[in-house]
Amino acid sequence: MHDKILILDFGSQVTQLIARRIRESHVYSEIHPYDVDEAFIREFAPKGIILSGGPNSVTEPGSPRAPQIVFDLGVPVLGICYGMQTMADQLGGKVELGKLREFGYAEVRAHNHTSFLTGIEDFQTAEGHGMLKVWMSHGDKVADMPAGFKLMASTPSCPIAAMADDERRFYGLQWHPEVTHTAQGRAMIDRFVLVLCNARADWEMGHYVEEAVEKIRAQVGDEHVILGLSGGVDSSVAAALLHRAIGDQLTCVFVDHGLLRQNEAEQVMSTFADHLGVKVIHVDASTAFLSKLAGVTDPEAKRKIIGAEFVEVFQAEANKLTDAQWLAQGTIYPDVIESAGKGKKGAHTIKSHHNVGGLPETLNLKLLEPLRELFKDEVRELGVQLGLPPAMVYRHPFPGPGLGVRILGEVKREFADLLRRADAIFIETLRTTIDKETGKSWYDLTSQAFAVFLPVKSVGVMGDGRTYEYVVALRAVQTLDFMTAHWAHLPHELLGHVSNRIINEVRGINRVVYDISGKPPATIEWE
C-alpha cells in the first residue's frame, strides 16, 4: 500500500498540476470532487489532504465547503487559494469579498518561521526579510485568521497571504505552489508532502511495473483480453504492460485506416509482433475507410465517419475472438479526471475526439484500463521501463483520425500519399537539426509538428516548365497542455531546407507555407 495524498477539487483550472507535482515527488496522490462523503475519505486513509483552488466565492451562500471530516482526521491539511479561504471560513475565521482581482506574479514576505516555510525563500530584502516569488490568482481574501493560526506570509494588498496552525498542521496559501511560476513551488509541495505529512516517496515506475502486473493478473485470471492498438503512446504502453502481465492471453487488434504516417504500420508490427512477441492482428481497412470518406468534406462528418468505421472494423475483428472476455483501453488519469468533471463546467465541444467509447457494452466485454491511474509522463516512463523504444514513447501525439484531419476537405488516397512523404521529410529534419543553445533536436523542442495537405493548386516554375500543383502547410507548436499553444519559432534555415526537400522530392507539391497561428484562436490541427 502506498501512502496517499488526497486532493479535493473545488474546480480550479490547475488542480491536475497539484497531483502531478506530488507524483513528481514520488508520492501517490488522487483528485476527487470536494463533496465526496466522509466514508470515502476514511477509507482512502490519506496521509494528508489538499484543498484546491476554485472559481467560487466563499462569501456566496451555498458555495462549496470541505467535508468536516477533513479537519477531524488529524492529518495535515493544505488549503490553496479557495481552499485556504474555505478553511479559514470553516474554522471560524473571516473571508472578505475582494474588490480587486490580484492575478499573476507577486512577491510575498514570509513571516515567522513556521515549519511550512522554514528555509524556503527566493531572496532577502535590505531589511533582511525573506521574500518569495509566487503566482497568485484571487479576488477574495482572508480578513481574520481562525483561532490557533499564525500569519505565515503577506503582501501589501493581501495582508494574510498565508497562514499556519503548526499544532493541528493546517496550512493555507493564497498563491499556487503547483504552478511553475511559483519559484519555490516544488520546495513547498515537498515540504508539505514529504516532511509535514511524512508520506513515503515510493511511487516510481520501475517498481510500479511489478505492482501493475500483479493487479492485472489478479483481475484477469486466465481469461482473454483484446486491445485496440493504435501506435500511439497510451495504447502501446498498455499493450506492453498487458503482455508482460498475461502474455498470450492478450490479442491486439491494429486497425490501419490508411491515414497513418509513413511506415507507421510497419513500425507498430515490428515493435510489437516481431520484437516483443505480442499477438497482433493487423487489419488493413484503408479501402473501406477511404470509400466511406469519398466525397465528404465537412470536418466533423469526417471525424464521425472515421470513428464509426473504426468501431465497426474493430468490432468485426473482436467478434472473431470468441474467447475474449475483456476489452483493454489506454485510458489515462487526465481522461478519468476530465470525464468525472464533465457537465460540471459546461465545457463546449470544439472537436469531437475520436475514441472507442461504447465498445465494451456492444461487445459485451468487461473493461480493463491498466493505465487509468497514470499521468502521461508516468505512462512514458513506464513504457521505457517495459522496454519500448524511447523514440516511440516520446513521440509527438497523433490524433485518432490521423491524416484524415490533416487533409483539408475530401480525403483521397493520392492526397494521403503526398502528405505522408512531405510529413516524413519535415519530421526527419526536426529530428536531425540540433539547436546549438540547448543541445536538443527541434523535434524535442516542439510539442507537436506535422504537415497539412491543402487541396488548392498554385503556379510554380521548375526547370524550364510551369507547374500547377498542391500546397503543403507546416505546423509546429510548443505547449504544455495542448489547451493553448504557441507556434514554434523554427530556424529559417530549417524551414527553408524542409521546403526545398519537399518541393524537390514530392512530385505534386510545388509550394510550402508555415503556419504562424497560435491556439487560441486557431486549433493545433487544421480540422
Using CB under 6 A, list all residues that contact ligand XMP.
303, 350-351, 353-354, 397, 399-401, 448, 482, 519, 523-525
Q: Cβ 353 to ligand XMP, closest distance in Å? A: 4
> How buried is 100 (Cβ within 10 angstroms: 0-12 exposed, 13-18 middle, 19+ buried)?
exposed
Query: Residue 157 annotated as binding?
Result: no
What span, in angstroms and rounded, lies between the C-alpha atoms of 340 and 35?
Answer: 13
What span, in angstroms and rounded, lies between the C-alpha atoms of 517 and 524?
Answer: 9
The residue (of 166 and 369) whose beta carbon lies closer to ligand XMP is: 369
Q: Cβ 396 to ligand XMP, closest distance in Å? A: 8
Q: Cβ 356 to ligand XMP, closest distance in Å? A: 11
Query: Residue 139 annotated as binding?
Result: no
Cα distances from 17 to residues 12, 111, 163, 187, in angstroms, run 10, 27, 22, 15
**Radius of gyration for the alpha carbons in the chain, expressed in angstroms and rounded:** 26
Query: Residue 286 annotated as binding?
Result: no
User: Is residue 443 within 8 Å of 430, Cβ to Cβ?
Assistant: yes
Cα distances from 7 to residues 16, 48, 53, 62, 320, in angstroms, run 9, 9, 11, 21, 44
| 81 tagged catalytic | yes
The residue (of 294 and 350) whose beta carbon lies closer to ligand XMP is: 350
Q: Cβ 215 to ligand XMP, closest distance in Å? A: 26
The dihedral formed by the CA atoms of 421, 422, 425 and 426, expressed in degrees to the nearest 10 = -140
Query: Residue 234 annotated as binding?
Result: yes
Which of 176, 243, 257, 354 is catalytic? The answer is 176
User: Is residue 193 within 8 Å of 203, Cβ to Cβ?
Assistant: no
Q: Cβ 430 to ligand XMP, closest distance in Å? A: 16
The residue (of 56 and 355) whose beta carbon lies closer to ligand XMP is: 355
The residue (of 141 and 303) whose beta carbon lies closer to ligand XMP is: 303
The count of other CB atoms within 10 Å of the CB of residue 140 is: 23
What span, in angstroms and rounded, lies between the C-alpha atoms of 291 and 191?
Answer: 59
Identify the CA nearest to 7 among candidates 46, 64, 40, 39: 46
The residue (of 34 and 310) whose beta carbon lies closer to ligand XMP is: 310
The residue (of 33 and 334) whose beta carbon lies closer to ligand XMP is: 334
Query: Residue 115 annotated as binding?
Result: no
User: Is residue 117 within 8 Å of 153, Cβ to Cβ?
Assistant: yes
Cα distances from 58 to residues 62, 148, 151, 172, 215, in angstroms, run 9, 21, 20, 14, 42
The count of other CB atoms within 10 Å of the CB of residue 147 is: 9
Q: Cβ 482 to ligand XMP, closest distance in Å? A: 4
Q: Cβ 303 to ligand XMP, closest distance in Å? A: 6
Query: Residue 236 annotated as binding?
Result: yes
| 32 tagged catalytic | no
Which of 111, 138, 158, 178 is catalytic? The answer is 178
**Which residues, 6 or more positions from 469, have their beta carbon under 8 angstroms from its beta carbon?**
457, 458, 460, 508, 509, 510, 511
User: Is residue 25 within 8 Å of 48, Cβ to Cβ?
Assistant: no
Half-sphere exposure in the Cβ direction for 103 (13 Å, CA): 5
Identify the CA nearest to 422 among candidates 392, 463, 450, 391: 450
Query: Residue 517 annotated as binding?
Result: no
By annotation, the residues acting in catalysis are 81, 176, 178
Annotated binding site for ATP: 230-236
